[in-house]
Amino acid sequence: MKTALSAMALALTATAVVAEDTVTIEFAYPYSHLFDVTYEAMMPAFKEAHPNIDVKFRATYESYEDGTNTILREAVSGNLPDVTMQGLNRQQILVDKGIAKSLEPFIAKETDFAKDGYHDAMLSLSTFGENVHGLPFSVSLPVGYYNMDLLKEAGVETLPTTWDEVIGMCETMKANGIDNPIFWGWNITGNWFMQALMWSQDKAIVENGVVTLDSPEALAAMEQMQKIFTKCEMQNLEWKAALSSFSAGEIGMIFWSTSALGAVERSQGEFELKTGPFPGMDETPKGLPAGGNAAMLTSASDDPKVQEAAWTWLKFITSGEGAAEVAKTTGYMPPNKAANEVILADFYDQNPNKQTAVDQLPLLRDWLAYPGDNGLAITQVIYDGIERIVTGDAADMKELQQDMVEEVADLMPNG
Partner 1 sequence: MPAIEPSLPVAKTKAVAGHAAKERRAAWVLTAPALTLMVIVLLAPVIIAGLLSFTNYSLGNSGFDWVGTRNYEKLFTRATYEKMFLATLTYVVTVVPVSVGLGLGTALLINSLGRFREIYKTIYFLPVMATLLAMAIAWEFMLHPSIGMVNRTLEMGCGTFLEQIWPFMADGCADRFPVWLGDKRYAIWVICFIGVWQGFGFNMVLYLAGLTSVHRELYHAAEMDGAKSAWERFRLVTWPALGPTTVFVVTITCIRAFQVFDTIEAFWPQGGGPNKSTYVMMFAIFEKGIQQNLIGVGSAITMLFLAFVMFLTLIQRWLVERKVHYK
Residues at the interface with partner 1 (CB under 8 A): 62-63, 65-66, 69, 72-73, 75-76, 93, 97, 99, 179-180, 187, 235-238, 241, 244-245, 248, 250, 373-374, 376-377, 380, 383-384, 387-388, 391, 393
* Residue 97 beta carbon to partner 1: minimum distance, rounded to whole angstroms: 5
The residues, any chain, with a CB within 8 Å of residue 333's CB and separated by 6 or more, are 138, 139, 140, 258, 326, 327, 340, 354, 357, 358, 361
How far is Cα 254 from Cα 242, in angstroms, rounded to an integer? Answer: 8
Pairing of the two strands 142-147 and 253-257 = antiparallel
The backbone torsions φ and ψ at residue 288, rounded to the nearest 5 degrees and listed phi first, read -145, 145
**Neighbouring C-beta atoms of residue 150, cutoff 10 Å:** 22
Closest CA to 197 of 188, 246, 159: 188
Closest CA to 185 of 237, 230, 248: 237
* Residue 253 beta carbon to partner 1: minimum distance, rounded to whole angstroms: 15
How far is Cα 61 from Cα 192, in angstroms, rounded to an integer? Answer: 18
Compare residues 232 and 326 and give the one whose CB is closer to partner 1.
232
* Residue 329 beta carbon to partner 1: minimum distance, rounded to whole angstroms: 24
Compare residues 63 and 284 and give the one whose CB is closer to partner 1.
63
H or E stretch at 139: strand 134-140
Compare residues 95 and 220 and give the one whose CB is closer to partner 1.
95
Compare residues 105 and 209 and give the one whose CB is closer to partner 1.
209
Compare residues 93 and 260 and give the one whose CB is closer to partner 1.
93
* Residue 45 beta carbon to partner 1: minimum distance, rounded to whole angstroms: 34
DSSP 339: I
Contact 339, 117 (CB under 8 A): yes
Residue-by-residue DSSP string for 66-134: HHHHHHHHHHHHT---SEEEEEGGGHHHHHHTT-SPP-HHHHHH-SSTTTTT--HHHHGGGEETTEE-E
Compare residues 122 and 400 and give the one whose CB is closer to partner 1.
400
* Residue 206 beta carbon to partner 1: minimum distance, rounded to whole angstroms: 18
How far is Cα 124 from Cα 122, in angstroms, rounded to an integer? Answer: 5
* Residue 249 beta carbon to partner 1: minimum distance, rounded to whole angstroms: 10
Compare residues 160 and 190 and give the one whose CB is closer to partner 1.
190
* Residue 407 beta carbon to partner 1: minimum distance, rounded to whole angstroms: 9
